[in-house]
Amino acid sequence: MRWAPLAIVAAVAAPARAEVTRAPAIAKFVPAVYPPDERAAGREAKVVAQVDIGADGAVVAASVVESAGQAFDDAALAAIRQFEFTPAEIDGAPASVRILYAYEFKLDTVVEARRDGELAGVVRDRATGAPLAGVTVALDGGLAAVTDERGAFAFPSVPPGTRTLTLSSSAITAVQTRETVEAGRRLEVVYDVALAPAAGEPADADDLEIVVTAPVLERATAAVSVAAGVARRVPGTGGDVVKVVESMPGVARAAAGSGQLVVWGASPDDTRVYVDGVRIPRLYHTGGLRSVLAADLVRSIELVPGGWGAEHGRSLGGLVDIQLVPLGGDTAGVVAVDALDGAGAVRFAATDRVRVAAAARRSHLGWLIAQATDRDTGDLVPIPSYVDGQLRVGYEASRRTRFEAAAIGAFDRVDRSVASGDPAMTRSDRADAGFWRAWGSVHRDAADGAAVDVVVFGGADAATRREQFGGRPTELDVATNVYGARASWRRTSGRAAVAIGLDAEVFDAHLGRTGAVTVPAREGDLRVFGQPPPDQLAADAWRVVGASAAPYAQVDVALWGGRAHVVPGLRFEPFLVSASRRTPVAGATPSVGLFAESTTLQPRLAARVDVSPRVRVSAAAGRYHQAPQPEDLSAVFGNPALPIAAATHLVAGVAVRWSSLVSTEVTAFATRSDRLAVRSPSANPRLAQALEPIGTGAATGVQALVRRELAHGVFGWLSYTLSRATRTDAPGAAARLFDFDQTHVLTALVSWDLGRGVEVGVRARYATGAPRTPVVGSYFDNRTDRFQPRFGAHNSERLPAFAQLDARIAKRFRVQGGDAEVYLDLQNATDRDNAEEIVYSTDFRTRGAIRGLPILPVAGARWSW
């Protein structure tokens, strides 16, 4: 049985202009007796009652205003008359009030156990950030609470699932939103609401600003999460919420146009990206201009650079976990266009149980440039083109069970050619890359409080590269089918929250490659930007099938009244890898394949202690494993016998909430990885061992995040990472700097809502230049008629430091029943020359730097309804 306050309908015996400064909140709830005859008949009902509450909080009178029949009416009134409330206040003084209550009789409530999700939050004045007391926060299903003088409210026990919340009081415009509460987890939210307009004032277009803050360090010791609504306003991202990852601590600045994600000294391939639990191969389209997901279907982005729990594996580096917006019953849509692309997204309820969301995007930058310039401009500078799309259909079978089917995909192309009268300098380059994923998922909140999630997915990744440089081909074809499933069961029992699950993934990759063994370059290769590839020519076609199914278990044990948590976890993961060819093709000799099995036990341990209500100390450690890349298992270009690489993460941090708005997190980290595949150092490499698993890596550092949540229209953060990442390329070899090592990475950003729909923001970035190996001389190579470089010490110099200021200004207004926004994203606002790469003259006697783009204004507009 549930009850819900509907409204305060009157202040009893109060002056006519009095204001309710504190709403009554239920202090004692008495369940009604379900009428036996009605239960036997399987009937449910809702009774709406008018309740007079005295100044002392006692129920003075109750009467039915919406009847559900005599039996239900009597049972409801009998229960309501036993309720006790905290006294209401009018103009600051306790007073009698009259309210309406809805009392619902649900058959399932008889056996319903108390559930264990927790929802807490703060309601604030959007304009001033001041806490709002007396706001009634009502959950669907009957739970309600009233905010205290700090604006805080809490539901210590909330049935898991997607819940509708209604915020109402005499001071605000009533608003409604939805939250997803998970069993055994605490969800903290901040609602910035607009005060009800005074007579004659227009209503604000956005009555509710929601900031969902994951519990500090709840999920992983170093996780950083940003809600989509905030991420969209970050300057320099062009409104792409996913690109906010670049501004998070622990992330090295990617070279312009690379779109690479380098986290805590891990190679870009070592960081995994998940969308609603489904792994996708990459986060960005080619060139890093855009993410592969529609911004308006993203709910939040979380980066876990290391030390994560047992539920994830198969990577040595970080995790990017993107949560899509829950499929609600509302209808909304958006169309957006800027210099890069045009996009649209829509979501609606097809029926009262079926919800649909769809989005699509197509780039037009290349087309725009072609209209404005000659074709040869695009040929000189590769302009990527891309499309992506998402479709999701959700079905809410019941309050406890929901299903979802979804598909996402993205496709990129870069195509250019450079003609030359010199046959050695003609160049053409075409790269296609695409992927799609389709999945079905089910979420079930069991009656005993457990939560079960199952997702089954399939998809394909494809990448093709055709490059000719002076007649020297470099070709790569990769077509991979991937299948996987994740299943988890979570339940809180007493002081322990238990999660067990299975994480399985299978891939079947068909690969073909032509060109020099050393192209494309790997991390650690000595190279000069823009040089022609070596003219050795090898070719191979191979197939790799890999599988792993990892059962895992994790227990969150609460100690000292919940102030401390210890979270041990264990992941048992056998890796199976099959390569089609053990050695290169030799004449008509049949191929002999290779099958390898490697079982790993991956312990994880995390602990956190709330030293005070504001301070949390945490630590985590874990062992992680990653299968070799299929591209590295060629008998010609790599080594089919590469083993599973491994890494150890150690993380420790402290988080301080200075206030409800400002927090600081400082995290120290150390990672060690081994059995990394590196090029064979031998001048006499063995057959099928162009790569050897003899590399090691190390990264140590500390990262800090000072964050101000959205209030008074202002949000921002400052992230800083101090780190050192090194590699060794052979046992006993001296450590060298990791190719992507950046000692200092600093990002500071602030966004300010000036009112009247005008918003401005700036982002400042600084990053130490990435290491490079200097060219100290050259020699003439007669056969190729080209000078060849002589290199100095490996990675012994750096690119100049990078510094850039981005700015954003936006204006929102109402248009034709919707909200429109126009914005100008000014990248490199100070027009600073940033060196992106070192280039040399033909004979390597002089050198210069390729500069990043000059000041670049990107204008765009979006209309949402």
Looking at residues 580 to 619 of the shown chain, list those that interact with another protein (rule: CB under 8 A). 584-588
Q: Least CB distance from residue 469 to another protein, whole Å?
A: 11
* Nearer Cβ to another protein (150/686): 686
* Nearer Cβ to another protein (582/811): 582
Show contacts with another protein in window 193-252 (CB under 8 A): none
Show contacts with another protein in window 829-848 (CB under 8 A): 836, 839-843, 845-848
* The only residue of 215, 329, 382, 534 in contact with another protein, by rule CB under 8 A: 534
Selected range binding another protein among 119-127, 366-374, 720-728, 748-756, rule: CB under 8 A: 366-374
372 near another protein (CB under 8 A): yes
Q: Which helix (H) or strand (E) holds 375?
A: helix 375-380
Q: Least CB distance from residue 159 to another protein, whole Å?
A: 56
Contact 302, 216 (CB under 8 A): no
Show contacts with another protein in window 659-698 (CB under 8 A): 678-690
Contact 740, 262 (CB under 8 A): yes
Pairing of the two strands 319-324 and 272-275 = parallel
Q: Least CB distance from residue 462 to another protein, whole Å?
A: 19
Contact 112, 447 (CB under 8 A): yes
Show contacts with another protein in window 425-464 (CB under 8 A): 425-426
Torsion angle (degrees, nearest 10) of CA 772, 778, 781, 786: 70
* Nearer Cβ to another protein (8/519): 519
Q: Least CB distance from residue 521 to another protein, whole Å?
A: 10
Show contacts with another protein in window 504-523 (CB under 8 A): 514, 516-518
Q: Least CB distance from residue 121 to another protein, whole Å?
A: 47
Contact 819, 206 (CB under 8 A): yes
Q: How many CA atoms are closer than 13 Å to the CA of 297, on its beta-carbon side?
A: 29
* The only residue of 525, 549, 615, 758 in contact with another protein, by rule CB under 8 A: 525
424 near another protein (CB under 8 A): yes
Burial class of 127 by CB neighbour count within 10 A (0 to 12, 13 to 18, 19+): middle
What spatial distance separates the first Cα and last Cα of the chain, rounded to whole Å?
Answer: 36
Show contacts with another protein in window 744-763 (CB under 8 A): none
Q: How many CA atoms are closer than 13 Å to the CA of 852, on its beta-carbon side?
A: 25
Selected range binding another protein among 142-150, 325-333, 466-474, 660-668, rule: CB under 8 A: 466-474
Q: Least CB distance from residue 803 to another protein, whole Å?
A: 17
* Nearer Cβ to another protein (648/778): 778
- Residue 688's region, left for phi above 0, alpha for psi from -120 to 50, else beta, is left
d(CA 289, CA 282) in angstroms, rounded, equals: 13
Q: Which helix (H) or strand (E) holds 377?
A: helix 375-380
d(CA 195, CA 134) in angstroms, rounded, equals: 13
Q: Least CB distance from residue 588 to another protein, whole Å?
A: 5
Q: Least CB distance from residue 682 to another protein, whole Å?
A: 6
Show contacts with another protein in window 60-119 (CB under 8 A): none
* The only residue of 15, 201, 422, 732 in contact with another protein, by rule CB under 8 A: 422
* The only residue of 560, 781, 814, 830 in contact with another protein, by rule CB under 8 A: 781
Binding track over 13-42 against another protein, x by CB under 8 A? ------------------------------
d(CA 58, CA 27) in angstroms, rounded, equals: 10
Nearest to 276 by CA among 406, 464, 139: 406
* The only residue of 595, 658, 780, 813 in contact with another protein, by rule CB under 8 A: 780
Cα dihedral 853, 855, 857, 858 sign: positive
Q: Least CB distance from residue 252 to another protein, whole Å?
A: 21
Any residues with CB less than 8 A from the CB of 499 and at least 6 apart, and which? 184, 311, 488, 489, 490, 553, 554, 555, 556
Number of residues that bind another protein (CB under 8 A): 78
Q: Least CB distance from residue 636 to another protein, whole Å?
A: 8
* Nearer Cβ to another protein (67/531): 531
Question: Phi and psi (nearest 5°) for 613?
Answer: -60, -20
* Nearer Cβ to another protein (237/834): 834
121 near another protein (CB under 8 A): no
Q: Least CB distance from residue 698 to another protein, whole Å?
A: 20
* Lookup result for tokens 């590196």: 678
Contact 491, 556 (CB under 8 A): no
Binding track over 790-829 against another protein, x by CB under 8 A? xx--------------------------------------
Q: How many CA atoms are closer than 13 Å to the CA of 592, on its beta-carbon side?
A: 6
Question: Phi and psi (nearest 5°) for 326?
Answer: -65, 145
783 near another protein (CB under 8 A): yes
* Nearer Cβ to another protein (538/750): 538
Tokens in use for 523? 């991390």
* The only residue of 381, 592, 815, 859 in contact with another protein, by rule CB under 8 A: 381
658 near another protein (CB under 8 A): no
776 near another protein (CB under 8 A): no
849 near another protein (CB under 8 A): yes
* The only residue of 351, 377, 417, 599 in contact with another protein, by rule CB under 8 A: 377
Pairing of the two strands 172-181 and 319-324 = unpaired
* Nearer Cβ to another protein (782/816): 782
Q: Least CB distance from residue 598 to another protein, whole Å?
A: 21
d(CA 487, CA 466) in angstroms, rounded, equals: 40
* Nearer Cβ to another protein (150/790): 790
With b for 16 or more beta-carbon neighbours within 10 A and e for fewer, the 65-103 pattern comes to: eeebeebbbebbbebbeebebbbbbbeeebbbbbbbbbb
* The only residue of 126, 290, 355, 527 in contact with another protein, by rule CB under 8 A: 527
Furthest-apart CA atoms within the chain: distance in Å: 104
